[in-house]
A and B are shown apart, each in its own frame.
Chain A
Amino acid sequence: MRLITHNMLKCHVKNCSDPDKQFPLRFKGTAGAEEVKLEQIEAERNDEFLVRMLPRLEWGALAITAGELNIPLPDKVPSDPAADDGFLQALHTAILEMHVLEGTMFCNGCGHEYKITKGIPNMLLGEHEI
């Protein structure tokens, strides 16, 4: 799972207590810990796509996640991101090339745990959560 998708993901348990805490899903264990495994797979960079996706990303949440996973990310969005090559490259690496292979995400509100194995998060819910 890449960070671009993680940034779109919130807890989908039906009666998750606090809507403000549903997002972002936090990672268990800090970066470098054994539970979390990352891999970088190179991908083709498309500036137009990155600039278009920028308003859809929640920068605060992305910064939290990147901090948890120890992925380098620029501090803030420059005023003209389309012209800033260094920023775009860093953003591209962070959200489109870094894959989370193993780990556990959990919801801050209800505490539901989503386990990631082989890069595939298990989003199935229990009977009482739907």
Chain B
Amino acid sequence: MSRPEHIAPPELFYGEAEAEKYTRNTRIAAIQAEMTLRAVELLNLAEDTPHYLLDIGCGSGLSGEILDEDGHVWAGLDIAPAMLDIAAGKDVEGDLFLHDIGQGMGFRPGTFDGAISISVLQWLCNADKTENRPRYRLQRFFSTLFMALQRGARAVFQFYPENDAQVEMIMGIAMKCGFTGGLVVDYPNSKKARKFYLCLFAGQAAGGHKQELPQGLDGADGAASVAYTQTRIQNPSRGKKPRKPAKNSVEWILHKKELARKRGKEGVPLDSRYTGRKRKPKF
């Protein structure tokens, strides 16, 4: 599995070209939509009432569009300007911020009814710059997020952990900052469709009952709506092109003549539209 967070820091990786690709690709959009719907479901909000939500790593607004559809009012943070430009161009209703979440967030206590984040947390575990210390950044992020949430609100993070140590580190820091909750794994038996949701509770609502960790989906009642195949589907038109032209073809003849000219051979025939053309059969 490719890991974009190993290639470059997010604000550089999601440059204009990658942001465009990310947004236009219908498969990515479908997967993102499915994960967003699942994350909102895990937030366990009261139905049919609009809430004030935070979208951490909103990117080009793929998840924001779904929040808009549900009528929620939201604010989105992202570090990649190119992605935010696309989101702004799409007229999503949420407020967008160019923000590095590892630097902490400046929201007043008890602002949001919930927070979702799709495919972001693994980026925070990277030390891209000398002053970046992942543990410190995670701690600053989780502590300011805890403050910004209403008591009893939830924060759901879909993420792609690299290994168990990373999960342990992230969860350990979140617990230290006051969150309770745990990891929900959907489709644990499928290597491709398996999804990790870190489901955190910011304390308990006043007079509320103890929050229970939701169950992960196991795929018994209908698998994920986006199909995952065993092998990658290759587009034949994008396959490797043969480097050499076929022998005796027009391109081949032109190439040979060009070579001969370059080598200073004399008497190389001129190129014309008749070059390499088949003659008519003669009687």
**A-to-B contact residues, CB < 8 Å:** 1-2, 4-5, 8-12, 14, 22-23, 43-44, 46, 48-49, 53, 56, 58, 96, 118-125, 127, 129-130
Contact = CB atoms under 8 A, between A and B. Distances in A.
A11 B97 contact: no
A102 to B, nearest CB: 13
Nearest to A127: B131
Contacts, number: 77
Contacts of B23: none
Interface stretch (B1-9, B32-40, B101-109, B251-259): B101-109
B45 to A, nearest CB: 12
B122 interface: no
A110 B93 CA distance: 31
B96 interface: yes
Nearest to B129: A127
A130 B103 contact: yes
A8 B111 contact: yes
Query: What secondary structure prevails in chain A residues at the interface with B?
Result: loop
Given A8-B111, A46-B71, A123 B88 contact: no
Given A49-B50, A123-B100, 14 more contacts: A8-B111, A9-B106, A9-B108, A10-B107, A11-B106, A23-B108, A48-B50, A49-B73, A56-B110, A120-B98, A121-B97, A123-B103, A124-B79, A124-B103
B144 interface: yes
A70 B72 CA distance: 27
A53 B110 CA distance: 11
Contacts of A11: 106
Contact of B98 (A9, A48, A123, A130): A123
A53 B73 CA distance: 11
